Amino acid sequence: MMNGGSGASGMSSIMVGMTGQVGTPLAIQTAVQDAKVTPSYAVVSSKNDSIVFESKNVSIVVLAMGVDRAANLTGSTPPAYAANDAFVIDGLIDPTLVLQKGSTVHITFVNLDSSAYHDVIITSTGPPYQYMPMSAMGGLMSMMPFVQHADYQQEQAYEYSYNASFNSAGTFWYLCMYPGHAQMGMYGYILVQ
Ligand SMILES: [Cu+2]
């Protein structure tokens, strides 16, 4: 396991290398408003905590934050496995995303946490995840830098965008690569059919 003493110093050097001023600034209010705009091709079910996309050209806004903030923002209850941090997509917490094979997803990631770095990546490797999820990333399909937390005094957040392609049917997950976050349940499920 990677949780020993020698792993800690190696981890801090990785974190120094991967954090910093990453992401484009935007107003927190803008991010919250963007997240409330659901495209016509997205069928959002709060009952199933799922979003079915009826287009192969998909755009999503993925917000990262602590579970309490997510519950306040959405008015819904985080899944039981989400211990600390969560994603909010189209007003749902860690929803299952149902995509069509051959889809391209334009991901706009915004960190709305007040204190922690986050990112969102796609993998075909399912939970449980280790403290350093990199070690279980045989199925990594996308990568992005960690984005700094929001500044609630200045009402400013940071975003980072990229495209992910799903060329084969199957099961995938989106998760945060920051050490410990996926291990503590910062992930959601993707079904490509
Ligand atoms: Cu995170």
With a cut of 70, which residues of the chain have pLDDT below it? Answer: 1-21, 135-136
Q: How far is the CA of 185 from the centre of ligand 1 (A)?
A: 10
Who surrounds ion ligand 1 at CB < 5 A?
Answer: 118, 176, 178, 181, 186
Question: Residue 147 C-alpha to ligand 1 middle, in angstroms?
Answer: 9
CA of 186 to the centre of ligand 1 (A): 6
User: Which pLDDT score is estimated for 150?
Assistant: 96
What was the pLDDT predicted at 21?
A: 59
- Cα 89 to Cα 189: distance, rounded to the nearest angstrom: 12
What pLDDT was estimated at residue 135?
Answer: 61
3-state secondary structure of 38: coil
Q: How far is the CA of 20 from the centre of ligand 1 (A)?
A: 15
Report the pLDDT value the prediction gives residue 140, as an integer from 0 to 100: 80
- Structure confidence by residue, pLDDT tens digits, 74-129: 999 999 999 999 999 999 999 999 999 999 999 999 999 999 999 999 999 999 99
What number of residues does the chain have? 193
Which pLDDT score is estimated for 139? Answer: 79
Q: Please determine, looking at this structure, whether the domain spanning 22-192 carries the CATH number 3.30.420.40.
A: no
pLDDT the model gives residue 134? 72
**Cα separation, 159 vs 27, whole angstroms:** 10
> How confident is the model at residue 176, as a pLDDT?
96
Q: How large is the C-alpha radius of gyration of the chain?
A: 16
* Backbone phi and psi for residue 34, each to the nearest 5 degrees, phi listed first: -55, -40
| Amino acid identity for residue 40 in this structure | S
pLDDT confidence of residue 1 = 32
